[in-house]
Amino acid sequence: MSSTAEYVLVTGGAGYIGSHAVVELLEAGHNVVVVDNLVNASMESIGRVEEITGKKVPSYQIDLLDKEAVKKIFQQYKITVVMHFAGLKAVGESVQLPLLYYHTNVGGTVNLLEVMKEFGVKNIIFSSSATVYGAPQYLPVDEKHPVGSCTNAYGKTKFFIEEIIRDVCNADKEWNAVLLRYFNPVGAHKSGKIGENPQGVPNNLMPFVAQVAVGRREHLTVFGSDYDTPDGTGVRDYIHIVDLAQGHVIAMNKLKEGCGCVAYNLGTGVGYSVLDMVKAFQKATGKEIPYKLAPRREGDIATVYADPKTAEVDLGWKTTRGLEEMCEDLWRWQSNNPNGYAPASS
C-alpha cells in the first residue's frame, strides 16, 4: 500500500447504503477505506463488495465515539474525502431512546469533524435524510422547504448534524460539504450479493415485504389505512439504492468546485403508496404478500416525495431505475440470501 495513494473514508461502509456506495466508488476508480462499528451491519458485506469489484477494501471495526481509533485511520491513510453514513437510523427506536441517538449520531459526527480538522481533511459528503423537512408544508418537497420541524429524534440528529457541518463550513471557507437528503432507498445491487440486512424486525416497508415473500414472516402489517391518500396508505418516494449510491460519487465532483455547504434531495419525484409497492413486488416476483391493516404509527406522515430537479441541474444526477427494477433486485438479494448475511442454519 502506497502512503501517497489518496483514499475516500467511508464511515458506516458495511451498512446497506454504505456498502453500495463503496461498490460505486471502487468502480469509479477511487481507493476506499471503511470504518463501521457493526452495530447494524456485518463485515460479510465488505467481503461481498470485494467479490463484486475484484478489489480489496481495507476495513476496520471502529466506533466514531472512539476518537483515538478514528485518528489512527487518518494517520495510516491519506484521506482526501469523507463519506459519512455511520449512525443509528430506526425512527421508532429514536423516539424511545433519544439520548442514545444524540450521543451516537451527533457525538460521533463531532468527533469525526474534529479529527478531519486536525488532519486538514476538509471535504465531506453527509448521508442526511428527507426527515429533516418534517411534515411537508407543500409537495413535492424541494431544498427550499423549511427544515428542522422533525417528527422524531432520528430526524433531529440529521438536522443538527447538517447545522453543525454548515457552521464548520462558515467558520473556515476551505471546507466543502454536500448534504444529501435521501427519500426511501430500496432494492439491491444487480449481483444479488449485497442488500439491506435489517437486524431484528425491519423498520422499513420493502425489507419486510421481502421477508414475507421468502417465508421469514407470515404477513405484512400496514400501519395506517385512513390517510388522505388515493388508497388510504402512506405515500413515499422510493429510490433504487444504486441510483442513490451513484449520487454520492457524482457529488464528489461538486466538492472539487469549492462548493461550500450545499444540500440536495435524492429521490425520484414520484410517490407510491404502501399498497402500490406491495402490488409492484407481487407483480415482479410472482409471490403473494398477505397483509393486515393496523393503526397509524406515531411520527409517521401521510405523503412525502421529492422535487429532485436541483440535483439534476447542479450535479447532472437523476434516477434511471424504476419500480419494477427495485422490486426485482430486492427479490434477487432476498431469495439468494434468505437470512441476509447470516449463514443459512441460523
Catalytic residues: 154
d(CA 187, CA 133): 24
Tell me which residue has cell 434511471: 320
Backbone angles phi, psi at 48, to 5 degrees: -70, -40
Question: What contacts 154, CB < 8 A, 6 or more positions away?
Answer: 88, 89, 90, 91, 93, 94, 101, 105, 129, 131
Is 196 in a helix, a strand, or coil? coil
SS3 content of the chain, % helix, strand, coil (to 5): 40, 20, 40
Question: What contacts 267, CB < 8 A, 6 or more positions away?
Answer: 130, 182, 183, 184, 237, 239, 305, 306, 308, 319
End-to-end CA distance of the chain: 37
CB–CB of 9/79 below 8 Å?
yes
3-class SS letters over 244-293: HHHHHHHHHHHHHCCCCEEEEEECCCCCEEHHHHHHHHHHHHCCCCCEEE
Concatenated DSSP letters for 94-159? HHH-HHHHIIIIIIHHHHHHHHHHHTT--EEEEEEEGGGG-S-SSSSB-TTS-----SSHHHHHHH
CB–CB of 242/187 below 8 Å?
yes
**Count of Cβ atoms closer than 10 Å to residue 19 Cβ:** 33
Tell me which residue has cell 459528503: 125
